[in-house]
Structure 1
Amino acid sequence: MAPFALIGPEDRAALPPDVVDAYPLTATQLGMIIELRARPDVNTYQDTTSYLIRDDEPVDGAALQRATQLVVDRHEVLRTGFELNRYSVPLQLVHRTARITVGVSDHGVLGPDGWRPALEEYAARERRSPMDITGAPLIRVHAHRAQDARDWWITITECHPILEGWSFHTMLMEILTGYREIRAGRTPAEPEPVPFRYADYVAAEAAARDSQEDRDFWRGVVEGRTDTALPPAWQGDRTLARERYQHMLDFRDLEDDLRRLATETGTSMKAVLLAAHMKVMSTVVATEAFYTGLVCDARPEIVGADEVLGMYLNTLPFAMPTGARTWGDLVRSVHDGLTALWPHRVFPMQVIQQEFGPGGRLLDVFFNYLDFRQVDKSLLDWDATYNDNDNEFALHVFTISGILKLNTTSHRLSREAAGRLTALYRTVLERMSLGPDGDARAACLPAAEREGLRLLDRTAEPAGRPITVGEAFARAAAEHPDRAAVRRGAEELTYRRLDAQADAVARALRERGIGPGSLVAVAPDHGPDRVAAVLGIWRAGAALTPADVPGAAGLPAVEPPTGLPDDAACVLPGPAGTPVSHDELARTLEQLHDELAARGAASAGGRPGCAPGRRPPRPD
């Protein structure tokens, strides 16, 4: 893609003179920046990660500065800033040069907790210090050294819209290998140029937006399914401050067996771990008609494209396969799903959300399989990594090097619930590690959950006949007869009085031959619901129906008073639905009691009719 080929002549004419290219933002980049600006107190998507560098010499700040500047000079995206409002569309501007200053901190003698407090404090300061997204580079690099430690830490803060994980770790390796070369007195070798630029990916996404084939594919994934929704009961205390935290599960003891499962099914480790995630989510949502978010690498399949830094992520809906009987079936079905979506992975999630989503966010939970094979683990201690990142999702599940991590917030998932969810992942992975022939339909509850159900089953009373609403009301009236059942202003209608009114209605109906087998009409479209009347009808053994359904004309009915208050307290059930205030409800109960007791609810001869001087409500 030639420079400036993706913008119009007016926008190009307005560019600063040091800009060597400009092109629109991708949907993912724009979405991240919107989230970043929506929460300036959090600085979502401004992420800080620290790595412990194993070294036999103290950190050389000057060599690290030179190495980092070489990497910035090498990659266009590290010389890129964002302009959202100055041009016809939001643009990213690639500058000819960008200067970075690498910081170095001396931490003296470390305390009993080692490096952790210093790294946490630094990450907190970084989160409180938002980057100017119009400038470049949108990264910060800092080294930490201590008096009593030869090893040192490198911390990189990034504006996530410019780099995804693969690009970030490629950049990290280029900085560290270049640093070693410069410190040794050598000049780092420049990589061979590749026939690909990040602008080519921007153009590919624009073409995908116009693809009807892509559009039809994603419509088929979303329609008829729901997103993965975490149970509301799992939320933490929202009156407390929001806290983002991480739960980790080490499954390296199962990794060989899980890789064997991938081999035996002719799939991949990614398919195995995604299948485990889908099984866990199906247990949480109790349905198979759902999708979860899947982070996809949409980088083009071009030789050398993996060396070009940028933001190539697209988080897409992945549907739960149905009909899988064994773990092998499930893993193969997931692999088939991954294969099917691959040609359509560039189509933006944001467009799917706008065109086919249920309204609001399309995804709240997503899974990410990570494998940064370019990382030279002889240069750093991979297990000692410390990171501080934030996003808008309720739950971010990712796997890397035999570790499964759950990133969430205390508002969306309590620590106790996160622990239960982590245990569920462990149980599913253990079952899958036994081989492809295991039953994928069976419940995979952790031991603690099974024990809880066993104790509940042991202590529970034998299930009997469910009590009716009428029986439940009678029990409540007997237990607390003087408690308010209905309030009318300062006055109260107690359970005792409501119970008496229901008895009067039942007696009046029985005296007129209305009982089991009879059907009594109740008009829901005029005035409040007849609480006492309904209870009385049930006590008489009769059934009831709304008066405005076919066949209700001529059935026993009582016309309600006219006029409804504006400040209705609720809406009664029924085809029409009627707003009701507490005052109206209490007044009508009293009227019904007097009217039914004095006049009856059926005409002479036992034929269903209406109260004298009244006519049944006409069906509307």
Structure 2
Amino acid sequence: MEHIKTIIKKARDKNVVLYLKDGALAYSAEAGAFTAELKSLVINNKAEIIAYLKGENDADERLDIAPFSLLDEGEVTQFEGRYEDAYPMSALQKGMVFHTQLDDFSGVYHDIMAEHIKCEWHPEFFQRALTSCLKHHPILRTRLAVDLKRPMQMVHENVSLPLVVEDIRHLSTEEQSKYLADWTEKTKTYKFDWENDSLFQVSIFLRTDVSFEFVINFHHAILDGWSRAIFSMELYAKYSQLLAGGELVEEGSDWTFRDYIALEQEVIKNPEATEFFKTLLSDAPTSQLTAFEQAGLNGSLIEHKRQSEICYEPITELSAELIALAKNLGVSVQSVYFSAHLKVLSFLSGQANASSCITVNGRPESAASEKGLGLYLNSLPFSLEVGGKSWRELINSVAKQLTQIMDYRRYPMMVVQQDTGKDFSDITFNYTHFHVYKGLASEQNTNFEVLSSTVFEQTNFDFHVDVSRVPDTDEVKLFFKFNPDKFDPTWIEQVGKYYKLTLQHMLADLDRANNQCLLLDKAEQTEFAALNDTAR
């Protein structure tokens, strides 16, 4: 069945998720990602793919793990009998908790997502729907023991319903907006009691007789963005089903995240992963934006507590052309935008090589794993010689290396940095396309209307580029999330122009050498050269 695994992996690399629905083969994909070549492969091997996804041949990704089996003897004695299960925290979970505490609970990795929903409010039905979600997803019943020699996560069999309902219908629309903004400002600095508190809460604010504000606030260590989207859609679907007079079919616990932890523990011991990253990053630059950092009043860089965000709107107008370009090249949209990211970094640093961390998904490849909740992300260092490659060569090189990295996608960045002795944590890139919203909404006809939404999320990175594809419109937006104590917002806006010019050059002539495409006028070139000479 190796050829079937290869097909599924090829699909995943193009952001095409193959899964079973009512026993039939189904898929979710970005527009244009499911190319004719890939579709032909899937159709010609349909029966074997279905058999594989049913679990007949995927023992390496579908793990049969007994409760407490990821613990040593002493840990079993400590946790068994008190919890439904316990297993180690992932490296990324530990890192997120560390930075939350380092920044004194200022909001780093405390995510708050709010949606104003037009829908009937029925408290009993909503409580039943939320209770069903908690039973199905162990991560929503998880607490953390962060101070142990080996930090652990413990799954409770039963927890109090993490739901708060508040009626603010007596307030005017403007007063409601202010009330919710003040609530968010206060909530994001909440100090988690990791071992005793719920790390996840739903808040409902009744705004009118036919609408309410649905807010989930949680620590990022338990949910990634895709999981948060899956949870919202599942909760909406269950609630909608009850409103329509239906009954819920209770499901067993989904232990996909426990499988992920086991797979991470396994890859950490893999010497091939160690050597892969040592080779990949041997010439990787680690200082690329130093020349553009601004100093504090005392002449030293200020340790930041907050992160600023700029959405560079002008790049959105190129969305359709760039999606079409990715389709024509047979690569993911992520590869196109990440290529531009590396080009801009090479340009800013004046170095032929560019390096950046990129967020990757490490979900186990097993049936319905895309619907399991947890933190399945990893941020992996990536390095490539940009040099004089044509745009086509650059994009294809990036796509190829991304495929290679996926073989070790669960190898923790913390371990990579220990292996190489280099710090890659200052620059990161993330591409998101939560097409789950569009796909599940159309499948389940939930009768929910989202009137507005707001998001608060903050990381510890100094320079983070977030490329986000909007599910309903396929517009691609570019966000810069940065440390304002290190980078001036005016400079960030200028960097946005470099990204746009880079992408425009790609579209204009794929076979032109990227280093022949100027991103500066003559005056800027002189100033820029002097700045980089000083930095060296």
The alignment's TM-score, normalised by the length of structure 1, stands at 0.66
Partner residue of 1:27? 91
- Taking a change above 3 Å as real, the CA distance of residues 138 and 112 of structure 1, as seen in their structure-2 partners, is closer
- Taking a change above 3 Å as real, the CA distance of residues 94 and 284 of structure 1, as seen in their structure-2 partners, is same
Partner residue of 1:595? none
- Is 2:363–2:369's contact at 8 Å kept on the other side of the alignment? yes
For each residue in 1:110-166, what CA deviation from the matched residue of structure 2 results, as whole angstroms up to 9, or x when unmatched? 76868653443222111122222113641111123334x844331111111111111
For each residue in 1:424-452, what CA deviation from the matched residue of structure 2 results, as whole angstroms up to 9, or x when unmatched? 2222222223352344223442xxx5385
Deviation at residue 36 of structure 1 after TM alignment:
1.5
Partner residue of 1:214? 273
For each residue in 1:274-295, what CA deviation from the matched residue of structure 2 results, as whole angstroms up to 9, or x when unmatched? 1111112112212122310101
- Is 2:342–2:386's contact at 8 Å kept on the other side of the alignment? no
SS where residue 36 of structure 1 aligns? Answer: helix
**Distance in structure 2 (CA, Å) of the matches to 1:275 and 1:109:** 52
**Distance in structure 2 (CA, Å) of the matches to 1:238 and 1:112:** 42
- Is 2:142–2:198's contact at 8 Å kept on the other side of the alignment? yes
| Structure 1 unmatched ranges of 5 or more | 458-620
**Mean Cα deviation higher: 233-242 or 75-84:** 233-242
Partner residue of 2:473? none
**Distance in structure 2 (CA, Å) of the matches to 1:396 and 1:381:** 32
SS where residue 406 of structure 2 aligns? Answer: helix
- Taking a change above 3 Å as real, the CA distance of residues 429 and 182 of structure 1, as seen in their structure-2 partners, is same
Partner residue of 1:261? 325
In the alignment, structure 1 residue 394 sits paired with structure 2 residue 462 = yes
- Is 1:397–1:407's contact at 8 Å kept on the other side of the alignment? yes
Partner residue of 1:417? 491
| Structure 2 unmatched ranges of 5 or more | 1-64, 470-475, 529-536
Q: Which has the higher helix share?
A: 2
**Distance in structure 2 (CA, Å) of the matches to 1:249 and 1:170:** 28
SS where residue 163 of structure 1 aligns? Answer: coil
Deviation at residue 197 of structure 1 after TM alignment:
3.0
Partner residue of 1:146? 207
- Taking a change above 3 Å as real, the CA distance of residues 456 and 260 of structure 1, as seen in their structure-2 partners, is same
For CA contacts below 8 A with separation 6 or more, give which structure has more relative contact order: 2
In the alignment, structure 1 residue 95 sits paired with structure 2 residue 159 = no
SS where residue 179 of structure 1 aligns? Answer: helix
**Distance in structure 2 (CA, Å) of the matches to 1:456 and 1:157:** 45
Partner residue of 1:124? 185
In the alignment, structure 1 residue 223 sits paired with structure 2 residue 282 = yes
**Distance in structure 1 (CA, Å) of the matches to 2:306 and 2:154:** 35
In the alignment, structure 1 residue 346 sits paired with structure 2 residue 346 = no
- Write the mapping of 1:292-307 to structure 2, written as runs, cut at 5 A: 292-307=356-371
The alignment's TM-score, normalised by the length of structure 2, stands at 0.76
- Taking a change above 3 Å as real, the CA distance of residues 292 and 380 of structure 1, as seen in their structure-2 partners, is farther
Deviation at residue 386 of structure 1 after TM alignment:
1.6
- Taking a change above 3 Å as real, the CA distance of residues 451 and 323 of structure 1, as seen in their structure-2 partners, is closer
Return the match for 2:257 from 183, 193, 198. Answer: 198
- Taking a change above 3 Å as real, the CA distance of residues 341 and 92 of structure 1, as seen in their structure-2 partners, is same
Partner residue of 2:419? 355
In the alignment, structure 1 residue 286 sits paired with structure 2 residue 350 = yes
- Taking a change above 3 Å as real, the CA distance of residues 238 and 266 of structure 1, as seen in their structure-2 partners, is farther
For each residue in 1:496-550, what CA deviation from the matched residue of structure 2 results, as whole angstroms up to 9, or x when unmatched? xxxxxxxxxxxxxxxxxxxxxxxxxxxxxxxxxxxxxxxxxxxxxxxxxxxxxxx
SS where residue 85 of structure 2 aligns? Answer: strand
**Distance in structure 2 (CA, Å) of the matches to 1:109 and 1:252:** 39
**Distance in structure 2 (CA, Å) of the matches to 1:451 and 1:37:** 47
SS where residue 35 of structure 1 aligns? Answer: helix
- Is 1:28–1:348's contact at 8 Å kept on the other side of the alignment? yes
- Taking a change above 3 Å as real, the CA distance of residues 310 and 431 of structure 1, as seen in their structure-2 partners, is same
Deviation at residue 63 of structure 1 after TM alignment:
3.0
For each residue in 1:423-480, what CA deviation from the matched residue of structure 2 results, as whole angstroms up to 9, or x when unmatched? 22222222223352344223442xxx538549989xxxxxxxxxxxxxxxxxxxxxxx
How high is the sequence identity, in percent, across the aligned residues? Answer: 24
- Is 1:321–1:333's contact at 8 Å kept on the other side of the alignment? no
**Distance in structure 1 (CA, Å) of the matches to 2:449 and 2:215:** 13
**Distance in structure 1 (CA, Å) of the matches to 2:391 and 2:448:** 37
**Distance in structure 2 (CA, Å) of the matches to 1:125 and 1:215:** 43
**Distance in structure 1 (CA, Å) of the matches to 2:508 and 2:489:** 29
**Distance in structure 2 (CA, Å) of the matches to 1:230 and 1:119:** 37
- Write the mapping of 1:375-394 to structure 2, written as runs, cut at 5 A: 375-376=437-438, 384-394=452-462
- Write the mapping of 1:267-278 to structure 2, written as runs, cut at 5 A: 267-278=331-342
Return the match for 1:364 from 417, 426, 430. Answer: 426
AA of the residue aligned to 2:196? G
- Taking a change above 3 Å as real, the CA distance of residues 385 and 409 of structure 1, as seen in their structure-2 partners, is farther
Return the match for 2:246 from 159, 167, 186. Answer: 186
Deviation at residue 308 of structure 1 after TM alignment:
1.6
- Is 2:109–2:221's contact at 8 Å kept on the other side of the alignment? yes
**Distance in structure 1 (CA, Å) of the matches to 2:286 and 2:525:** 31
- Write the mapping of 1:580-595 to structure 2, written as runs, cut at 5 A: none
Partner residue of 1:436? 510
For each residue in 1:585-614, what CA deviation from the matched residue of structure 2 results, as whole angstroms up to 9, or x when unmatched? xxxxxxxxxxxxxxxxxxxxxxxxxxxxxx
- Taking a change above 3 Å as real, the CA distance of residues 118 and 249 of structure 1, as seen in their structure-2 partners, is farther
Partner residue of 1:403? 477
In the alignment, structure 1 residue 155 sits paired with structure 2 residue 215 = yes
- Taking a change above 3 Å as real, the CA distance of residues 16 and 3 of structure 1, as seen in their structure-2 partners, is closer
Partner residue of 2:61? none
SS where residue 398 of structure 1 aligns? Answer: strand
Partner residue of 2:139? 77
Partner residue of 2:228? 168
Deviation at residue 170 of structure 1 after TM alignment:
0.8
SS where residue 366 of structure 1 aligns? Answer: strand
Partner residue of 2:521? 450
**Distance in structure 2 (CA, Å) of the matches to 1:115 and 1:231:** 43
**Distance in structure 2 (CA, Å) of the matches to 1:456 and 1:16:** 64
Deviation at residue 296 of structure 1 after TM alignment:
0.8
In the alignment, structure 1 residue 244 sits paired with structure 2 residue 307 = yes
AA of the residue aligned to 2:401? G
**Distance in structure 2 (CA, Å) of the matches to 1:413 and 1:51:** 31
**Distance in structure 1 (CA, Å) of the matches to 2:247 and 2:308:** 42
- Taking a change above 3 Å as real, the CA distance of residues 145 and 433 of structure 1, as seen in their structure-2 partners, is farther
AA of the residue aligned to 2:500? R
**Distance in structure 2 (CA, Å) of the matches to 1:452 and 1:255:** 30
Deviation at residue 31 of structure 1 after TM alignment:
1.2
- Taking a change above 3 Å as real, the CA distance of residues 102 and 10 of structure 1, as seen in their structure-2 partners, is same
- Is 2:343–2:354's contact at 8 Å kept on the other side of the alignment? no
**Distance in structure 2 (CA, Å) of the matches to 1:39 and 1:310:** 23
**Distance in structure 1 (CA, Å) of the matches to 2:234 and 2:195:** 25
**Distance in structure 1 (CA, Å) of the matches to 2:227 and 2:219:** 13
- Is 2:162–2:198's contact at 8 Å kept on the other side of the alignment? no
- Is 1:65–1:101's contact at 8 Å kept on the other side of the alignment? no
Q: Paired residues, what number?
A: 447
Q: Is the radius of gyration larger for structure 1 or structure 2?
A: 1
- Taking a change above 3 Å as real, the CA distance of residues 90 and 253 of structure 1, as seen in their structure-2 partners, is same
